[in-house]
Amino acid sequence: MTERHDDEGPDPRFSVAVIGLAGRFPGADSTGELWRSLLAGDEGITVLDEAEHLAAGGDPALLDDPYHVRAVAEIAGLDRFDAEFFGYSPAEAALLDPQQRMFLEVAHHAFEDSGYPPGGHPGAVGVYAGSGPSRYFTTNLAPWYAGRPGSLDHTAALSANSAGTLPTRVSYLMGLTGPSISVATACSTSLVAVHLACQDLLAQRCDLALAGGVALNPHARLGYRYVQDGPYSPDGKVRAFDRRAAGMLQGDGAGVVVLKRLADALADGDTVRAVVLGSAVNNDGDRKIGFTAPSTTGQTEVIVSALLEAGVSPASIGYVEAHGTGTPVGDPIELTALHDAFERAGGHPGGCAIGSVKTNIGHLDAAAGVAGLIKTVLALEHGTIPPTLHLDEPTELFDWAASPFEPAVTARPWRVPGPRRAGVSSFGIGGTNAHVVLEQPPSAPPSAPGREHTLLTISARTPAALDGTARLLGERLAAGAAPRLDDIGHTLAAGRTAHPYRRALVVRSADEAATRLRETIGAAAEPARQRPVALLLPGGGVHYDGMGRGLYATEPVYRETIDRCAGILRPVLGRDIRDALLAEAAASRDGGEHTALLDGTATGHRAASFPALVATEYALARVLEQRYGVTPVALLGHSLGEYTAAALAGVIALEDVLPLVAERERLFASVGGTSLSVRRGEDAVTAFLAPGLAVAAVNGPDACTVSGRTAAVIALEARLTAAGVDHHRLRVPVAVHSPVLDPVLPEFRDLVAGIRLSKPRVPYLSNVTGTWITEEEATDPEYWVRHSRRTVRFADALRTLGDAARPPVLLEAGPGGGLGKLARTVLGPRVPVVAALRHAYAEQDDGSFLLGALGALWCAGAEPDLPALWRGTRPRRVPLPGYPFARSRFWIDPPGGGPVSGGPVPSYTPADGGSPPVAAAVGTRARSGPPDDSPLGRVTRLWEESLGVTGIAPDQNFFDLGGDSMLLMRLTGQVRDALGVDLSVRRLYVGDRLTVAGFLAEAAEAAEAAEHDRTGPTGTGAPAGEPAGQSSPAASPTPSPSPAPSAAATAAPPNGQDEE
């Protein structure tokens, strides 16, 4: 405990921040909807009419029963779950307790709300949670196993519905390695979970914690019977602290908070929704009249302990979210305990509001405490206390006038001066009490100025979910009062899991972002494949004055590299290339003015386009790698671009390559000539050539460069025009890669021989051969002479890149975008192409263009370090809409009357109303038509029934289809019984036989071994009355061995070791 004055803020060393919220409640499918409902005074409790009651299976005889209450506080769709998102097969999803299904989804949303992807926090993440009893198991599943309680199927059902597996299932599926503790203290479960999480955070047992609870009643629509003076309300209304309080109504709900040490949350830029100043837990012991009764003494003590732990006086508390069940016994006891606790801890001058969320949504059992906590966090955050419903006349069993408490019957602000503070109580049957003291969030520190443009990235597992994500985010941005756009971009990049279907937008405002997001809905989407990156490096002719100027202003790595290059080149050129690179480019499209400074025509200086282009490409590549983590696995330069590749690969040092290409430009310009781009293939172009001309580059099936003496090129232009062949001159004053260069090649050879050439550290492709350069070539001066003289085999080099087992994303790290166009022509759409620097005439600035390139890389499956965009700007993680789960119905109804035979029959209704799931074609083509009655047909049928999918092919892997080791053991037993042979799970696993074909092969071997054991080594193996040599049914047909298991299979141990 730390003592503090009531007007002081929380001590970050001993306080815990609430940084994420999520929940589903009656009448509210999110915490945002809950807050709007609370402020409006809405009630999530409904009374069913007779038709609704009967449709739910209600007894018609109860319709006229005056004590039968048809009120419900339910969550719609509790039978629905996004099983595919969490990796469950339909059959396994149907077996899983709906409470666990919903908690998984809510936990995922809570992580997203906190700005941390599940499993994405670098520290240990703990899970503290509890659920109500599984009514689904008791009513729907248990009757199916009544006659076989010791079966594996029964064990699997127990595991899927055990409250003890709730937190560990979250930890397993989300990769969380901190403490994972199941909490069970009845109604106080979820607030006790919050207390335990706070204690472990402050004790450094974890660095982030998820705490909450869930309670669902699948059969609430059947109603309940009211008993006078019992715990249940006669009409479904919960009237906490009212004179007419007569009982509560059980409701459905799931709530989760994400917690973090306050000091860490502030340092990491998290959005702090509220601060936990202190908490306490105790038990009534025997200080009450009965086990289920409340205790004034126990409640008083826990509240006093929490205030002491928080280090604040009760006088600073402006609101208490009470347990408030609305019972005539419990409410006065709770009010008295609160009064006694406040008096014992120092007293309160008055004006402290009191309320209970149970009047809105009912009593949520294991989720009741966290529901009250979430309501209070939202109230502290917004500065408004929502109204408590049905509180018309405060109970006369408590002296309100002598207490500091006022029923919160209307929405109101805090009336106690100083920081907004509140207490939250939750008391469980059996006497475990919990109380938490909260404070309003501290003011967020200002963020540093951001970029003019922001990159927004969204992703999902399906195209429909991607559209849903775009819609939800667009609606949030259009609603007004959205977080800062830079914070949104950072949260999306750093706080969300990257799924296969992706979109990226570069925007300047929230309004533009909302519009653009809406416009993307319905756009075609292809799943991203994880890909490496290869750089394309353009050659001469694409340069322009001012290229990269925007990057020089905004990217420190780029600026430092260009400054270094300018220093290297100044003695060689006699001028500073930055004068041209940082200049405003002229807008003329036809006068060549936009290159006048680099070409020297505007100043009379020596041309510097070659070294300036290499410097630009080199600096851009360094930014991509050092700032944004884009490390290329390969390089491909075009003509001059191969020198940049050589520098990046470590073949030629930067201090050598820049003077070398400057001298190369001077030498080549001295012999002159002209180069022409021709829209024809190599053979067609060759037919047009005359003496003095050469094919300088083969860039694609219909793209070549021809160079030679200017007069010969002019004559060629006339022939091409007459033949209707497209062509245009290149902006290089030299006949590149042609015999025109021969007079200066000896001098160039001497220049190359004077520098050190080293073996490549990064693979790159040779223009001369169109394939990977060898160490011998890279370090041979003669190679560089041949490179300048021979035809550039760029199309061949592109094909070499495209033929890789995993083709890379091609990133053009230079101006123009021309190489990307050639790559698309040669390789087609199967290889993504991205440009990183704008064309000379593009209206987009350099910074936003680079943002778009990073987004495009990410969409294509590369892994740039997108959060680096906000490094140094103190960005915040902000709450944004969560993933739009595609929930399908997975359900098992209880058996009908009479003896039970067979196992439970799952019911599956897809989210889109489509057909039941079909096994994806991960192996050979699945059969058409129903399975036959052969061993193959029978085993396939068992697989399909166990996994809940149809169309399983013989070589599809069990784990790829959503199986786990517990289901593998059950399925093995079923196949054993069907074929009459012993099968070993371990042999199936170790032998890589986790396919239908593998099961049959294993069965055939087992049958053969059993026959051998029965007859001995010399027996015929034929049973009486059966011809010798006839095999058993299990052994025929004998398929070929199944393929090796996938990564999913190899990650799952045999013998059920992933389930306990």
**Are 615 and 657 contacting, i.e. CB atoms less than 8 angstroms apart?**
no
- Decide if 565 is catalytic: no
**Are 254 and 24 contacting, i.e. CB atoms less than 8 angstroms apart?**
yes
What's the distance, CA 408 to chain centroid? 40
CA-closest candidate to residue 539, choices 354, 306, 794: 794
Three-class DSSP category at 783? helix
Write the CB contacts of 532 (distance below 8 Å, at least 6 apart in sequence): 632, 633, 634, 806, 808, 809, 862
3-state secondary structure 535-597: EEECCCCCCCCCCCHHHHHHCHHHHHHHHHHHHHHHHHHCCCCHHHHCCCCCCCCCCCHHHHH
C-alpha to C-alpha distance for 143 and 895, rounded to whole angstroms? 7
Instruction: Residue 628: count other Cβ atoms within 10 Å of its Cβ.
Output: 21
Three-class DSSP category at 328? coil
Amino acid at 156: A
Write the CB contacts of 258 (distance below 8 Å, at least 6 apart in sequence): 18, 19, 20, 21, 110, 111, 113, 114, 116, 208, 209, 210
Q: CA geometry: angle at 727 spanning 723 and 729, to 5°?
A: 140
- Decide if 859 is catalytic: no
If you ran DSSP here, which 8-state letter would residue 365 be given?
A: G
- Decide if 198 is catalytic: no
C-alpha to C-alpha distance for 689 and 707, rounded to whole angstroms? 10
* Catalytically annotated residue among 182, 233, 425, 639: 639
Distances (CA, A) of 838 to 150, 542, 641, 813, 851: 69, 11, 17, 10, 11
C-alpha to C-alpha distance for 608 and 468, rounded to whole angstroms? 51
3-state secondary structure 129-179: EEECCCHHHHHHHHHHHCCCCCCHHHHHHHHHHCHHHHHHHHHHHHCCCCC
C-alpha to C-alpha distance for 183 and 211, rounded to whole angstroms? 10
C-alpha to C-alpha distance for 210 and 170, rounded to whole angstroms? 10
* Catalytically annotated residue among 121, 154, 195, 323: 323
> What residue has token string 């087609």?
828
**DSSP of 435-469:** EEEEEPPPPPPPPPP--SSEEEEEEESSHHHHHHH
Cis peptide before 1037 (omega within 30 of 0): yes
What's the distance, CA 632 to chain centroid? 25
Structure-block tokens of residue 821: 């166009």
CA-closest candidate to residue 197, choices 8, 421, 369, 385: 369
352-355 and 319-321 strand pairing: parallel
C-alpha to C-alpha distance for 911 and 90, rounded to whole angstroms? 12
**Are 349 and 359 contacting, i.e. CB atoms less than 8 angstroms apart?**
no
Residue-wise burial string across 893-902, b where 16 or more C-beta atoms lie within 10 A, e elsewhere: ebbeeeebee
- Decide if 363 is catalytic: yes
What's the distance, CA 1002 to chain centroid? 39
Three-class DSSP category at 937? helix
* Catalytically annotated residue among 53, 154, 187, 198: 187
What contacts 24+ positions apart, CB below 8 Å, involve 987-993? Answer: 988/1054, 989/1054, 990/1054, 992/1041, 992/1042, 992/1043, 992/1044, 992/1045, 993/1041, 993/1042
Q: Which positions are annotated as active-site residues?
A: 187, 323, 363, 639
